[in-house]
Amino acid sequence: MSTTTTAASSTAALAPVLAREFAALLPENCVITDEVGLRSYECDGLTGFRQVPAVVVLPRDTAEVAACVAVCARHGVPFVARGAGTGLSGGALPVADGVVISLQKLRRILEIDVENRRAVLEPGVFNLDISRAAAPHGLYYAPDPSSQQVCTIGGNVAENSGGAHCLKYGFTTNHVLEMEVVLADGSVVTVGAPTAEQAGPDLRGLFLGSEGTLGICTKVTVRLLRKPEAVRTVLADFPSIEAAGDTVGAIVDASIVPAAVEMMDSLAMEAAEAAVGAGYTVESPSALIIELDGPAEECDEQFAEITRICEEHGSTRIHVADSADERARVWKGRKAAFAAVGRISPDYIVQDGVVPRTRLAEVLSQIASMGSEVGLRVANVFHAGDGNLHPLVLYSEAAGEHEKAEDLSSRIAELCVELGGSLSGEHGIGADKACSMGRMFTDDDLAVMQRVRTGFDPAGLCNPGKIFPTPRLCGERPGPFRPHPLEEAGVISRL
Amino acid sequence: MNTTPSSLVELRDAVRDLPGPLVATGAGTASDWGGALVGDATGVSVTGLTGVITHNPGDMTVSVGAGTPLSDLQDTLAAAGQRVALDAARARRGATVGGLFATADAGPLALGFGSLRDLVIGVTVVLADGTVARSGGHVIKNVAGYDLAKLLHGAYGTFGVVAEIVLRLHPRPSATRTVALPLADVGGLPAAGRAVTDTPVEAAALEWVDGRLLALLEGTEAGVEARASRLVDLLGQGAEVLAPADADAAWVAHHDAVDRRPEDRAVVRVGVAPTRLGDLLTGLVADAGAADVTAAPATGVATLTVPADAAAVDAVHTRVAALGGTSTLRARPAGADVPAWGPTPTSAAVLRSVAAAFDPDQRLGRGRLAPWLPVPEGASA
């Protein structure tokens, strides 16, 4: 990444030049150079990583994005695309003396094509607004990250976002057909096609989840699905984590693919209940939220089967959420659990790792002992159906526990890799976990990924310092976790 | 002097050490798909890399050697009540998982489950210089690093030789039903397709062949029985639930149609937005010599044959592209010189620069993606 280092160190003096060139391209209020304005772009949802950029630009369409990128390319200045800034891995962390290209002004829903079940969107459209726009036609957009009220489709593209229902419906990559992309040299290309059948290597799939390092998506065509006829949701308490885990296994063995299976431990339920009052049993060691959807006949039949499996595995309470309101309440508690942890601990760190689902009990027991060893509590809320954990390491900054907590959190992610899983299921690598990539991939694996990057962006200007380990990044220690303001307000969560 | 390595290490050594251009081969069921190979290339067969490496039924994942025939894999998985949700027609002829992946093949189940690009969760690949790289992993949910598997899907053996593939699995349905609806005219496909997809019965596949629209319902015995009756009621107009033997025969006939390899015609796979499918196919049949049409109205995908001359195939590519669709040559008579791909997309610039980083001398599959990936000068046949 020597290109990046060189570019960054020589661009400080360029800021006024850049600002002038951007000002010639954009209206006055679309170029931010004042200290206060710049500071609001210094971090994303991972607030422990901060860097004030040199300039922030807010282009209004593809041509303006391309023109801004061309300015950066001409001067060899690194740039970082940014959507709503809700990312949890520092993927939108600015580069020192670099440019932030905010896509918040590209927020039009360009088309809802009902007959072909497609939506054409600008990247700044909020995830939930896609489903809102499609709802009158009985359609929706399936990927549903918990931050869906405030995260953008462009950010979802960058992170290949999932959500609770990706167990059945897949991730962003399974729902995007075509993208318009501004490359690092300012050229504009289209990857994919607005059709199910695609020809040749799947550059669209390669770009999805590349965390803003291969270009800037300025338009995206997604699939819309017909809303399922029936939805059934149950909240089931279990006497142990193991019993809940075995229940999930039995559901899989019964050839049932639920829309979602979520697990919470008692600590997480205690926090969620205190915050939202979702009707959880706080003294229960664990609980599952299981949701089925589909044609009514089949949904009812499988729901009966799931209830039977829960009983067989010693469920101590089975609560069926039998109205839309009740279902929303159960999910609200689940989605609020993260921020709610703030009620039972002064500080906490959010982790995101994946293990093969069959190793859930094993990883949870190891996490518990790792926590006890260092005297820290860990709350667990996770997507049990696909083994995606979100351990919350609770600690006190005031008591000087930060370093210990960071260390525990990192070791948990790396434990997931050791157990055959992944460093990240949905939050991304970004700046946060770049230094752990060597635990999951060999030097050759990473070097081949770098060849992709070089092919797209030979000068390394597009969101440098993310995904790939670099000495500069890996030498730094992040600050303590601070919740996103919207999270504190209970609007979004991190799960 | 073709070679058949029997391990990843042997494959790496072969790719690294053999001189000149190479072509990855499998069962040979699609050797005439896509662009024709240019010049003499040494065949590197992956058929020595076969079998299940790990199958974790509880995690619904499997990793296999790229040379594993899909049908063998399905037999193995069936014992655990699982399957790869892919039913490409040429699997009957022994197509390998690696070959189906490299050619982006898929069958009727693509409506419900997508193609292999949607099912692959990890890949091990050998690059032209012998570098062995892996991306993804063994878990279904995973966003760590670039998804190299997507670059290799549909790459026809360029960019690298796929050695191992990790797939997510689905349960085998305990029951199926097929509802058939007579439909004589391809022009009526979009409306007939919507008539099915606008109902809540959730077909796993929806295909038109031999004058009938076939809707495949998968699920529990009671579930599919009820859904099939409901669909027949909703569709009316001669819709019927096929008896099991008739349903099986209908889907075999569909596979036969998609997988046909006529001696004097080229087979082309096309995809457009579903609303455009009827007009496209009507036009191609009326005045571009298209025939033998099968079509999936909900995905907008069709397979058809045209005379095996360059102008006829090019006409298909041009018309499809004009509708914003995609088209790929699927099979051609030996020696026929017909264009494999449609107009070069704007993203070809990226394709070329990534290819230059992966395989600067274009040793692998030279010509297969031409002209999107042009054959190096001086390398013509």
Structural domains in chain B plus CATH codes: 8-171 (3.30.465.10), 175-257 (3.30.70.610), 261-331 (3.30.70.100)
The closest of A104, A97, A103, A123 to A19, measured between CA atoms, is A97
HEC string of chain B? CCECCCCHHHHHHHHHHCCCCEEEECCCCCCCCCCCCCCCCEEEECCCCCCEEEEEHHHCEEEEECCCEHHHHHHHHHCCCEECCCCCHHHHHCCEHHHHHHCCCCCCCHHHHCCHHHHEEEEEEECCCCCEEEEECCCCCCCCCCCHHHHHCCCCCCCCEEEEEEEECEECCCEEEEEEEECCCHHHHHHHHHHHHCCCCCCCEEEEECCEEEEEEEECHHHHHHHHHHHHHHHCCCCEECCHHHHHHHHHHHHHHHCCCCCCEEEEEEECCHHHHHHHHHHHHHHCCCEEEEEECCCCEEEEEEECCHHHHHHHHHHHHHCCCEEEEEECCCCCCCCCECCCCCCHHHHHHHHHHHCCCCCECCCCCCCCCCCCCCCCC
Q: What is the rounded CA–CA span in Å between residue A355 and residue B45? A: 34
The closest of A447, A386, A456, A472 to A421, measured between CA atoms, is A386
Q: Which fold has domain A2-103+444-485?
A: 3.30.43
Percent of chain A with pLDDT over 90: 80
| Average pLDDT of chain B to the nearest whole number | 96
* Record: contact B58-A354, CB cut-off 8 A: no
Q: What is the rounded CA–CA span in Å between residue A462 and residue A4? A: 9
The residue written with tokens 């960054």 in the block is A8
Whole-model pTM: value is 0.95
| pLDDT band of B379, cuts 50, 70, 90 | low
Q: Return the number of CB contacts < 8 Å for A and B.
A: 280
Cα A405 from chain centroid (whole Å): 22
A422, A423, A444, A449: best to mutate for the B interface, most B CBs within 10 A:
A422
C-beta of residue A198 within 8 angstroms of C-beta of residue B103: no
* Record: contact B347-A191, CB cut-off 8 A: yes
> Which of B172, B270, B356 lies at the smallest CB-CB distance from A455?
B356
Q: Is the predicted pLDDT of residue A485 greater than 50, yes or no?
A: no
Which residues on neighbouring strands pair with residue B123, listed in sequence order?
B135, B165
Question: For position A493, what pLDDT does the model report?
Answer: 52
pLDDT digits (tens, 9 = 90+) for B102-139: 999 999 999 999 999 999 999 999 999 999 999 999 99
Rounded to 5°, the CA angle A479-A484-A485 comes to 130
Chain B residues closer than 8 Å to A295 by CB: 200-202, 219, 223, 226-227
Can you give the residue ranges of every domain in chain A? 2-103+444-485, 109-226, 230-427
* Record: contact A160-B143, CB cut-off 8 A: yes
| Average pLDDT of chain A to the nearest whole number | 91
Chain B residues closer than 8 Å to A142 by CB: none
What is the sign, positive or negative, of the torsion defined by CA atoms of A55, A60, A66, A70? Answer: negative
| pLDDT band of A10, cuts 50, 70, 90 | low
CATH architecture of A230-427: 3-Layer(aba) Sandwich (3.40)
Span A152-162, mean pLDDT?
97
CA distance B48 to chain A (A): 24
CA distance A32 to chain B (A): 32
Ramachandran bin of B335, using left for φ above 0, alpha for ψ from -120 to 50, beta for the remaining angles: left
Q: Is the predicted pLDDT of residue A491 greater than 60, yes or no?
A: no
Span B334-357, mean pLDDT?
96
* Record: contact A189-B346, CB cut-off 8 A: yes
pLDDT digits (tens, 9 = 90+) for B144-179: 999 999 999 999 999 999 999 999 999 999 999 999
Q: Hey, what are B183's tokens?
A: 């439909």
Chain A residues closer than 8 Å to B342 by CB: 199
Residues sharing a CB contact under 8 Å with residue B130, sequence separation 6 or more, in sequence order: B12, B13, B15, B16, B17
Phi, psi of A106 (to 5 degrees): -95, 80
| pLDDT band of B321, cuts 50, 70, 90 | very high
Q: Is the predicted pLDDT of residue A400 greater than 80, yes or no?
A: yes
Q: Is the predicted pLDDT of residue A7 greater than 50, yes or no?
A: no
* Record: contact B271-A296, CB cut-off 8 A: no
C-beta of residue A339 within 8 angstroms of C-beta of residue A490: yes
Q: Under CATH, which number does the domain A109-226 receive? A: 3.30.465.10
Chain B residues closer than 8 Å to A297 by CB: 222-223, 226-227
> Which of B134, B159, B220 lies at the smallest CB-CB distance from A201?
B159
pLDDT digits (tens, 9 = 90+) for B202-245: 999 999 999 999 999 999 999 999 999 999 999 998 999 999 99
Q: What is the rounded CA–CA span in Å between residue A117 and residue A139? A: 8
A74 vs A470, higher pLDDT: A74
Percent of chain B with pLDDT over 70: 99
| pLDDT band of A338, cuts 50, 70, 90 | confident
B140, B224, B341: best to mutate for the A interface, most A CBs within 10 A:
B140
Chain A residues closer than 8 Å to B134 by CB: 441-442, 445
Q: What is the rounded CA–CA span in Å between residue B149 and residue B122? A: 7
* Record: contact A200-B118, CB cut-off 8 A: no
What interface predicted TM-score (ipTM) does this complex get?
0.97
Cα B112 from chain centroid (whole Å): 14
C-beta of residue A317 within 8 angstroms of C-beta of residue A276: no
The residue written with tokens 């990057």 in the block is A453
Kindly compute the dihedral angle of the four CA atoms of residues A167, A169, A172, A178, in this order, to the nearest 10 degrees: 160
Chain A residues closer than 8 Å to B153 by CB: 201-202, 205
Chain A residues closer than 8 Å to B172 by CB: 255
Chain A residues closer than 8 Å to B123 by CB: none
